[in-house]
Amino acid sequence: MNLFFAVLTPFLGAVLVAWASRFGRSHAAWAAGGVALTALAWLSPLLSQPFAGTTVVQRLEWMPSVGLDLVFRLDGLGLLFAGLILGIGLLVILYARYYLSERDSMGRLYAYLLLFMGSMLGVVLSENLIQLLIFWELTSLSSFLLIAYWREREMARMGARMALAITGAGGLALLGGILLLGEITGSYELSVILASGDLIRGHSLYLPTLILVLLGAFTKSAQFPFHFWLPHAMAAPTPVSAYLHSATMVKAGVFLLARLFPALSGTPEWSWLVGGAGLCTLLLGAVVALFKHDLKGLLAYSTISHLGLITLLFGIATPMAVVAGVFHIINHAIFKASLFMAAGIIDHETGTRDMRRMQGLWQFMPFTATLAMVAAASMAGVPLFNGFLSKEMLFVEASEMASQQSFGWLLPVTVTVAGIFAVAYSLRFIHDVFFGGKPLELPRTPHEPPRWMKVPVEVLVLLCLVVGLFPAQTVAPLLAVAAASTLQTALPEYNLAIWHGFNPALWMSVTALVGGVLLYLVRRPFSLLHDRFEGQLDARRLYNALLQGLMVIARRITALLDVGSLQRMVFVFIGFALLLGWMGWSGDRSVLTGSRPLLPVDAMSLLVTAVLTVISVAVVILHRQRFTALVLVGFVGLVVSLIFVKFSAPDLALTQLLVEVVTVVLLLLALYFLPQHSPVESHPLRRSRDGLLALLVGGGVGALAWAVLTRPHSSIGDFFLANSVSGGGGSNVVNVILVDFRGFDTLGEITVLALAGLAVYALLEKLHISGPSQNADGRDWNWDLHPVIMASFTRLLLPLALLVSVFILLRGHNLPGGGFIAGLVTAVALIMQYLANGVAWTHSRLSANMHPVVGVGLLIATLTGLGSFVFGYPFLTSTFGHMKWPLVGDFELASAMAFDLGVYLVVVGATLLILIHLGLMHGKEPVRGKGGH
């Protein structure tokens, strides 16, 4: 369960932080830090297990009947990533506290950040691949929110959209790959999949599976040709970039490569696809990074390049290359996070990120400059820093590959060229920013940042140094367990040392360092060339064209189907219903009338039905006179509820009556703003066509009802009837179904109702439309707002009506009634006061704020449901008992009644929220009447 709670904590914490931010910026930061530490605390008891060689798998039964469980897994690789996510997450939280300006919402950033943290933990700790995919998509979604944090900026929105489109599409491909993996191995659990590598590689579906999984990994990790979203994602605040684009989000892709390495690697396809993409990305990112003028742009392309490096190592696929890949994941996360943070400090202090404008910042911020230099040296692969170690391992692997393939020499050459560029751009990052003359017209005079803003950078830079100098004493055990769980076999022999003697790799390093310095010195003409062609060779253009094309196609299809005519949509809809109905009838040769004997007809039912039919037809004929049609519809509703009474459905009848009146009030509110007469617009021919269609549909539905009702039919209803008293403790089966048997449905429904109420409120709150000052005949409205007889007598009715609603609520479990009906009665009783006494009078006695009522209602219903957990029963199990009350006598008390109370409150609140705000929509224009005011 620990792993489950570790993943859950950040999600819950996001809510907590959003709330805590009310009390101040530091409170939000403390809360966020506390949440990350709590997640770490959940993990801590298990930390020693991967080092002992065991893989922790924790299972939480979710839907055992369909084989869906929440399964979490902690092994070396997961441990490494969880450490990166939480450790760097903590540093980023500290850093962001000082980075954000006063104008930006602290709570929102931390809430998003924690959502992302939870999603990422979910990805790395999942045992089940489907579950992994869900968290994978959550990282895409939460990173969308984070990138678009400054939502008022066009670039931020564009960048976020692009990142979501690319990674979302990749996620779709990954889903396909995972389903294929499940198809091949018969399980979605990693333990099974990792153990059946030979089966997967030998399967005919191996290649499609591989391609789909790789599409998911490559889009996430910004591999060529999907790399272009990452530079645009730099529109995010820098703490976000430091977190997402160094240690976590983009590493999810390489995590997937590492995770599925035992299952998918070891074939030529794997080597060519993964190695090829990695090599291209490595070179492309390194070259472009040198010419970027934006500080974060340089870092973004450098990130792309380093991700390419890691991918290349997994593509080489020797055990030693995998060790190097895992090692570089650690190193890159450390130095790139610190570089992003340093870039953020520079941006923060100077107000710009353009490297052409800043020089010589050394004199203003020597300390930050020193930190940045160490991190950049690590990025360049200078000896004594951690980046050197893993890059040296890459050079070893590349040079060993050279002798094995016919064009093998290309590999070490390309890698060395990329190394040259890496040195050059690292040098540029340092030299252009901190040295080389005086700064040009900076927006602000820079100085050292606040003390605590530097701490995260210091910690990371210290790690660069310590790992670089003493790898065997520091990082070795973690690397060993992570690499071992990646490979799922024994580790190769290796030695984490700085000095390996004079081997080809050493010469490659020397070449890269010397070549990089030279390249930096002569970069000017190349840079001009790049500026000239910038944006012309860009996959983003392809992406935009593709997006544009899709939009055009989508618009065409929409225009083809939807011409903006309601009649046409209804025609299509009804036409299809008719077609399907006809197909159903024509296929079955049985007779229309079933075997069940008909019930006797009494004269009164016949009479009432006949009147109903006549009035219904009249509604159709008179529908252009809207008010008249509304009055007639009121009668139809009344008769329908009488029919419900006749056929022993009193609950339905009561509900129908109430809904009828609420609808009439609602329609009258709308009618005020509508034209009083609707003109004749349709052609007679068209009307006869519609009439024919209506007759066919009516006849069809009638025939269907006849066929169903004349057949003996047993349904689940009998079960409810038999178990209502024994199982739910109530003799009103309808109510027991609502609050007990199908209580979960009801909870969902009242939630929807509450949301609908809030949505209507949100839409109408600021809306003011002025209604007509005269009626349809041009007569002024009456001067008498609230006739005194109506106003005073209606007040008398309120206590009576409330008494009725309480009565209906209490007896609902056993006799017709219940929370829904009682809620509507109360709502109608209160609306009656608004009608008769006006808004001002009512609001001076009853708070207009219905939000708490809705909220408390939902809370009561949910807590009642959760209460059953306390007693060890599933959600919403109800219990009941009888108690003797003085005076009242035997009184049944069921836990479902508390649930019903919640339903009641939600119904009251939502109904009032909707109707009152519709009523308040009209503008406050002066009343013009005969008497005037």
Partner 1 sequence: MLTVALSIAFVLVGAAVVLSAWRLLRGPSAPDRILALDTLYINAIALLVLLGIHLGSALYFEAALLIAMMGFVGTVALCKYLLRGDIIE
Partner 2 sequence: MLEYLLSFLILAGALFTFVGSLGLARLRDFYTRLHGPTKASTLGVGCLLIASALFFSTRSEGISLHEVLVTLFLFITAPISAHLLAKAALHLGLTSLAPPPEDKPRR
Which positions lie near partner 1, rule CB under 8 A?
603-604, 607-608, 611, 614-615, 618, 627-628, 630-632, 634-635, 638, 641-642, 645-646, 650, 653-654, 657-658, 660-661, 664-665, 668-669, 671-672, 771-772, 775, 781-782, 784-785, 790, 794, 797, 801, 804, 808, 815-817, 825, 828-829, 831-832, 834-836, 838-839, 915-916, 918-920, 922
Query: Which window, 193-201, 707-715, 727-735, 923-931, contacts partner 2 (CB under 8 A)?
Result: 923-931
213 binds, among partner 2, partner 1, none (CB under 5 to 8 A by kind): none
796 binds, among partner 2, partner 1, none (CB under 5 to 8 A by kind): partner 2
CA gap 512, 737 in Å, rounded: 75
Instruction: Candidates 63, 789, 870, 887: give the one binding partner 2 (CB under 8 A).
Output: 789
Nearer to partner 2, 317 or 832 (CB): 832
Query: Which window, 88-96, 610-618, 792-800, 869-877, contacts partner 2 (CB under 8 A)?
Result: 792-800
CA gap 506, 57 in Å, rounded: 42
Q: Are 222 and 230 in contact (CB under 8 A)?
A: yes
Nearer to partner 1, 607 or 709 (CB): 607
Query: Which window, 342-350, 576-584, 660-668, 777-785, contacts partner 2 (CB under 8 A)?
Result: 777-785
Q: What's the min distance (Å) between Cβ of 600 and partner 1?
A: 15
Cis peptide before 225 (omega within 30 of 0): yes
Q: What's the min distance (Å) between Cβ of 645 and partner 1?
A: 5
Burial-class residue 199 by CB neighbours within 10 Å (0-12, 13-18, 19+).
middle
Tally of CB atoms within 10 A around 267: 16
CA nearest to 520, candidates 849, 779, 291, 201: 291
421: CB partners within 8 A, 6+ apart = 283, 286, 287, 289, 290, 305, 516, 519
Q: What's the min distance (Å) between Cβ of 672 and partner 1?
A: 5
Task: State both tokens at 354.
Answer: 């353009």
Nearer to partner 1, 159 or 816 (CB): 816
Nearer to partner 2, 268 or 778 (CB): 778
789 binds, among partner 1, partner 2, none (CB under 5 to 8 A by kind): partner 2
Q: What's the min distance (Å) between Cβ of 929 and partner 1?
A: 9
638 binds, among partner 2, partner 1, none (CB under 5 to 8 A by kind): partner 1
Q: What's the min distance (Å) between Cβ of 551 and partner 2?
A: 54
672 binds, among partner 1, partner 2, none (CB under 5 to 8 A by kind): partner 1
What are the backbone dihedrals phi and psi of residue 882, each rounded to the nearest 5 degrees, phi first? -115, 145
Q: Are 69 and 62 in contact (CB under 8 A)?
A: yes
Q: Are 250 and 201 in contact (CB under 8 A)?
A: no
203 binds, among partner 2, partner 1, none (CB under 5 to 8 A by kind): none
Tally of CB atoms within 10 A around 290: 26
Nearer to partner 2, 476 or 797 (CB): 797
Q: What's the min distance (Å) between Cβ of 614 and partner 1?
A: 7
Residue labelled with tokens 């984490």? 496
CA gap 869, 865 in Å, rounded: 8
CA nearest to 53, candidates 25, 74, 80, 22: 74
Instruction: Candidates 524, 766, 779, 924: give the one binding partner 2 (CB under 8 A).
Output: 779
Instruction: Candidates 53, 699, 787, 799: give the one binding partner 2 (CB under 8 A).
Output: 787
CA nearest to 196, candidates 214, 210, 182: 182
888 binds, among partner 1, partner 2, none (CB under 5 to 8 A by kind): none
Burial-class residue 752 by CB neighbours within 10 Å (0-12, 13-18, 19+).
exposed
* Identity at 123, one-letter amino acid code: V
Q: What's the min distance (Å) between Cβ of 823 and partner 1?
A: 13
Instruction: Candidates 531, 562, 765, 784: give the one binding partner 2 (CB under 8 A).
Output: 784
Residue 785 binding partner 2, by CB under 8 A: no
930 binds, among partner 2, partner 1, none (CB under 5 to 8 A by kind): partner 2
Nearer to partner 1, 858 or 913 (CB): 913
Q: Are 870 and 824 in contact (CB under 8 A)?
A: no
CA gap 282, 539 in Å, rounded: 16
Nearer to partner 1, 307 or 764 (CB): 764
Residue 930 binding partner 2, by CB under 8 A: yes
Window 798 to 837, contacts with partner 2 (CB under 8 A) = 800, 804
Residue labelled with tokens 């200078």? 382
Instruction: Candidates 794, 814, 868, 877: give the one binding partner 2 (CB under 8 A).
Output: 794
Tally of CB atoms within 10 A around 183: 11
Instruction: Candidates 141, 640, 797, 856: give the one binding partner 2 (CB under 8 A).
Output: 797
Residue 790 binding partner 2, by CB under 8 A: yes
816 binds, among partner 2, partner 1, none (CB under 5 to 8 A by kind): partner 1
Query: Which window, 401-409, 416-424, 704-712, 781-789, contacts partner 2 (CB under 8 A)?
Result: 781-789
Burial-class residue 248 by CB neighbours within 10 Å (0-12, 13-18, 19+).
buried
Question: Residue 485 CA to chain centroid, in angstroms?
Answer: 31
Query: Which window, 405-413, 590-598, 795-803, 880-888, contacts partner 2 (CB under 8 A)?
Result: 795-803
Nearer to partner 1, 545 or 631 (CB): 631
627 binds, among partner 1, partner 2, none (CB under 5 to 8 A by kind): partner 1
Nearer to partner 1, 515 or 929 (CB): 929
CA gap 844, 838 in Å, rounded: 10
Q: Are 418 and 284 in contact (CB under 8 A)?
A: no
CA gap 337, 313 in Å, rounded: 21
Q: Are 129 and 138 in contact (CB under 8 A)?
A: no
Q: What's the min distance (Å) between Cβ of 728 and partner 2?
A: 26
Q: Are 42 and 6 in contact (CB under 8 A)?
A: yes
What are the backbone dihedrals phi and psi of residue 842, each rounded to the nearest 5 degrees, phi first? -65, -40
Tell me how many residues contact partner 2 (CB under 8 A). 16
Residue 783 binding partner 2, by CB under 8 A: yes
Nearer to partner 1, 593 or 731 (CB): 731
H or E element: which one contains 58?
A: strand 56-63
Q: Are 139 and 116 in contact (CB under 8 A)?
A: yes
H or E element: which one contains 68?
A: strand 68-74
CA gap 275, 325 in Å, rounded: 12
Q: What's the min distance (Å) between Cβ of 232 and partner 1?
A: 50
Nearer to partner 1, 192 or 615 (CB): 615
779 binds, among partner 2, partner 1, none (CB under 5 to 8 A by kind): partner 2
Nearer to partner 1, 476 or 645 (CB): 645
Q: In this structure, what DSSP letter does residue 234 have?
A: G
876: left (phi over 0), alpha (psi -120 to 50) or beta: left
User: Strands 68-74 and 880-885, how do they pair?
Assistant: unpaired
Nearer to partner 1, 665 or 733 (CB): 665
Q: What's the min distance (Å) between Cβ of 152 and partner 2?
A: 52
Radius of gyration of the chain (CA): 35
Q: What's the min distance (Å) between Cβ of 148 and partner 1?
A: 40
CA gap 753, 662 in Å, rounded: 15
CA gap 200, 723 in Å, rounded: 51
Q: What's the min distance (Å) between Cβ of 829 and partner 2?
A: 12
In DSSP terms, 774 is beta-bridged to 780
Question: Residue 217 CA to chain centroid, in angstroms?
Answer: 20
The contact set with partner 2 (CB under 8 A) reads 779, 782-784, 787, 789-790, 793-794, 796-797, 800, 804, 929-931
